[in-house]
C-alpha cells in the first residue's frame, strides 16, 4: 500500500464509527433518493459502491431490494457495512474484486478525490469494467474552480479538479447525461456530481 493510501486508512480507521452516526446532507439525500428511484424505474438490479464508508448510502441502496456490493480501503468501514448486513470487501478502487460486467450500476461518493496521480483514471476504468455497457454510474467528488492537490491536517490526500477536467475523465467511461455542482466549502471549492451512462 502506498504512503498516501496508508495515511487515508489510518485517518478513516479512527473516525469511521463517528461517521456512521452523521446524517446525510440535503444534497446527498436528494441524489441518493433519486438514484434509488432510478434503479427501480429502470429495473437495474445490482449496484457496486466504491468507497462505501460506514454504509450509510449502501444501506439505503440495498434496502431498495437490489443486489449490493461495496468496497472500501478501510477495514473499519467494511466491518461497519457487514454489521449492517451488507456485502462489503476491503479493496482499492483501482483493483475491484469483481468480474467484468457484474453490475447494472455504480455509485461512488466523496472518494475518488483521494486518489493521487493517474489512479482516478484506473479507478474509472475499473468501474467501467465491472458495470455493464448501458449501465448507470453516479459519481460525486470534491472539486474546485482550479485543479490542485493538498494534504489536510489529518494526513488525508485530496486532488481537486475543475468541472471540465472531471467531465473529460468521465467521458472515458461513457456519456455524461447530467452534471451538477453545489457549494460545499467556504474556501471556494464545490461539490461535483455526475450521472454517466456506461459505454
Ligand atoms: C469521505 S469518505 C466517504 C465515504 C462514503 N462514500 C460517504 O460518502 O459517506 C472516503 C472513503 O473513501 C475510502 N477510500 C479512500 N481511498 C480509497 C481507495 N483507493 N479505494 C477504496 N476506498 C477508498 C476511505 O476509506 C473512506 O471510507
pLDDT at residue 185, rounded to an integer: 67
In tens, the pLDDT along 17-57 reads 999 999 999 999 999 999 999 999 999 999 999 999 999 99
Distance CA 36, CA 8 (A): 29
The atom number, within ligand 1, closest to the CA of 71 reads 21
Would the CB of 109 count as within 6 Å of ligand 1?
yes
Residue 157 belongs to a domain: yes
Measured in degrees and rounded to the nearest 5, phi and psi for residue 62 equal -65, -35
Residue nearest to atom 16 of ligand 1 (CA): 114
- The parent domain of residue 131 ranges over 3-175
Would the CB of 115 count as within 6 Å of ligand 1?
yes
Residue 162 belongs to a domain: yes
pLDDT at residue 150, rounded to an integer: 94
pLDDT at residue 186, rounded to an integer: 61
Would the CB of 111 count as within 6 Å of ligand 1?
yes
Pocket probe for ligand 1: among 6, 73, 120, the residue whose CB has the most ligand atoms within 8 Å is: 73
Checking if the pLDDT of 188 tops 80, the result is no
Residue 94 belongs to a domain: yes
Question: CATH code at 138?
Answer: 3.40.50.150
Residue 197 belongs to a domain: no
H or E, element range at 80: helix 75-83
In tens, the pLDDT along 81-111 reads 999 999 999 999 999 999 999 999 999 999 9
Would the CB of 110 count as within 6 Å of ligand 1?
yes
What residues have CB less than 8 Å from 9, skipping those under 6 apart?
A: 1, 73, 74, 75
Residue 109 belongs to a domain: yes
Predicted model pTM: 0.97
Residue 52 belongs to a domain: yes
What residues have CB less than 8 Å from 185, skipping those under 6 apart?
A: 142
pLDDT at residue 184, rounded to an integer: 73
Residue 198 belongs to a domain: no
Q: How far is the CA of 72 from the centre of ligand 1 (A)?
A: 6
**Whole-number percent of the chain with pLDDT over 90:** 95
More confident residue, 79 or 185: 79
Residue nearest to atom 1 of ligand 1 (CA): 110
Q: How far is the CA of 133 from the centre of ligand 1 (A)?
A: 25
pLDDT at residue 31, rounded to an integer: 97
Q: How far is the CA of 110 from the centre of ligand 1 (A)?
A: 7
Q: Calculate the dihedral angle through the C-alpha atoms of 50, 187, 168, 107, rounding to the nearest 10 degrees.
A: 20
Residue 183 belongs to a domain: no
**How many domains is the chain built from?**
1
Q: What is the rounded average pLDDT of the residues 152-165? A: 96
Mean pLDDT of all residues in the chain?
A: 96
**Whole-number percent of the chain with pLDDT over 70:** 98
Amino acid at each position: 500500500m502506498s504512503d498516501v493510501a496508508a495515511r487515508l486508512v489510518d485517518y478513516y480507521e479512527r473516525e469511521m464509527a463517528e461517521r456512521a452516526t452523521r446524517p446525510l446532507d440535503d444534497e446527498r439525500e436528494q441524489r441518493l433518493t433519486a438514484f434509488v428511484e432510478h434503479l427501480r424505474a429502470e429495473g437495474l438490479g445490482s449496484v457496486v459502491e466504491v468507497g462505501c464508508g460506514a454504509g450509510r448510502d449502501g444501506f439505503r441502496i440495498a434496502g431498495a431490494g437490489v443486489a449490493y456490493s461495496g468496497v472500501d480501503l478501510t477495514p473499519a468501514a467494511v466491518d461497519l457495512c457487514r454489521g449492517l448486513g451488507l456485502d462489503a470487501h476491503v479493496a482499492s478502487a483501482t483493483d475491484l474484486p469483481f468480474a467484468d460486467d457484474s453490475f447494472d450500476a455504480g455509485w461512488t461518493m466523496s472518494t475518488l478525490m483521494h486518489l493521487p496521480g493517474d489512479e482516478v483514471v484506473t479507478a474509472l476504468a475499473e468501474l467501467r469494467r465491472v458495470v455493464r455497457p448501458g449501465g448507470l454510474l453516479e459519481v460525486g467528488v470534491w472539486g474546485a474552480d482550479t485543479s490542485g492537490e493538498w494534504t489536510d491536517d489529518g494526513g488525508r490526500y485530496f486532488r481537486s479538479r475543475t468541472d471540465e477536467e472531471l467531465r473529460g475523465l468521465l467521458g472515458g467511461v461513457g456519456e455524461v447525461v447530467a452534471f451538477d455542482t453545489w457549494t460545499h466549502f467556504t474556501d471556494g471549492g464545490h461539490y461535483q456530481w455526475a450521472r454517466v451512462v456506461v459505454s
